[in-house]
Amino acid sequence: MTTCPAILVAAPASGQGKTTVVSALARLHARQGRRVRVFKCGPDFLDPYWHALASGAPVYQLDLWINGEADCRARLAAAAADADLIIVEGVMGLFDGDPSAADLAQRFGLPVLAVIDAGSMAGTFGALAFGLQNYRPGLPWAGVLANRVASERHALMLKSSVRDPDQWLGAVMRNTALQLPERHLGLTVASEVGDALERLDAAADALEATPLGQMTLQDVQRWQVEFTGADVPQSAAPVVKPLSGKTIAVARDAAFCFIYAANLDCLSDLGAELVFFSPLADAALPDCDALWIPGGYPELHAQTIAANTALRASLAAHIAAGKPVWAECGGMMALFDTLITSDGQQFAQWGLLPGTVTMHKRLAALGPQQLRLGSGTLRGHTFHYSTTETALQPVARTARPDTDPLPDTGEALWQLGSVRASYFHAWFASCPEATVELFSPPEGAVW
């Protein structure tokens, strides 16, 4: 059993500013020499980039269904063993989703800090804070922070509306300079923002003026939580390493950046050696036995992808040799013949799968999914703005949690030769055996 101060930062809805607050709090404590570990509730690729920059430590996702409770518990316990503070960012509203951020907080005893955009309210702020705290009996509670506050007078009105003065953790004033840049899938990746660290420092400075920001390490001991579990997730470090001696090339650049740190860990734990390359900049694949092209933003780089004909030839040679390819979401999109952007522009892509991908201005699919393969079932999620037209017939389909796949529903799994592709984002550690299958030659082929 390990103890460590920990909080879960939540909100009544999306868009309240909780990612900025989490990053600011992590940055504030990290600047003071404290060891901060940040986690993200739910399957999110983008917020963790900001959290990792702010904390200086790897960021992992926690989802009671996708990870499983044992995996979540083990990751928290491992972090608690060497951290001064653990911060978990919730997802959507506090009680939204199944499982929700509130479920996670209650399961592990994480006190909830509610961030509320108070820009258009006064006395109702206290009612909303009271409702969040008391809606579910037994929910651990840390307090409430007002965000995007108009003035000091406004802050006093908000503070006076909170029933318990000890629950008031301050007000962050409205300041557009503190907003993190966004685009259609969420926040812009921190590494693409030239002044990302300066933005985080500005947010940390603003938070430092609040009671929350002025809390010392001794003060945050009030949020002490006991964590029990293995030092590493149960899925890690298997005795048998079926990918031992195999090299997996991973696409990683501005176009293909939706990568769970836990997925890289899982491949390494299975024995694979990982090498990275950029489809935007590199002329050839590195020497490898298998290839992973993760999701990202190919639609923002479609012209560059189309122009890199040398890499396309290298990909074609890899596939012709029967070497496995796992392409998910954006990685899959670039494999098709054509990509049509939301404003109607058409770009030839790698042309290694037949079909056309069309971007839309509204979400096409969102939510948790599972993919059943011959060796087991992978859990994960889907989140995309495009649709695909192809002559390929699915060899399988994903399904909603704990249900069977149905015809013409769920995400298609397409296979052509040694290529497997889907909109499905897999959490590899949910079924290492199925992960090995994804990176192994199709039936009848050999390494």
Instruction: Please list, in sequence order, all residues whose beta carbon lies within 8 angstroms of the beta carbon of residue 275, skipping any fewer than 6 positions away.
Output: 247, 248, 249, 250, 286, 287, 288
Rounded CA gap, 308 and 283, in Å? 7
Q: What is the largest CA-CA distance in the chain?
A: 73
Residue from 125, 183, 129 nearest 149 by CA: 125
**Which active-site residues does the annotation give?**
329
| Residue pair 178/209 in contact by the 8 Å Cβ criterion | no
Taken in order 406, 409, 415, 419, the sign of the CA dihedral is negative
Q: What is the DSSP letter of 242?
A: T
Residue from 313, 355, 320, 318 nearest 334 by CA: 355
Residue from 314, 335, 333 nearest 323 by CA: 314
Q: What is the DSSP letter of 408?
A: T
Rounded CA gap, 280 and 272, in Å? 24
What SS3 state is found at 419? strand
- Tell me how crowded residue 441 is: count the other CB atoms within 10 A of its CB: 15
Q: Characterise 324 by phi-psi region: left (phi > 0), alpha (psi -120 to 50), beta (else).
A: beta
Dihedral angle, C-alpha 171, 175, 176, 177, nearest 10 °:
-110
| Residue pair 247/238 in contact by the 8 Å Cβ criterion | no
| Residue pair 279/255 in contact by the 8 Å Cβ criterion | yes
Peptide bond into 99 cis (omega under 30): yes
- DSSP H or E stretch at residue 379: strand 376-384
What SS3 state is found at 354? strand
Q: Characterise 446 by phi-psi region: left (phi > 0), alpha (psi -120 to 50), beta (else).
A: beta
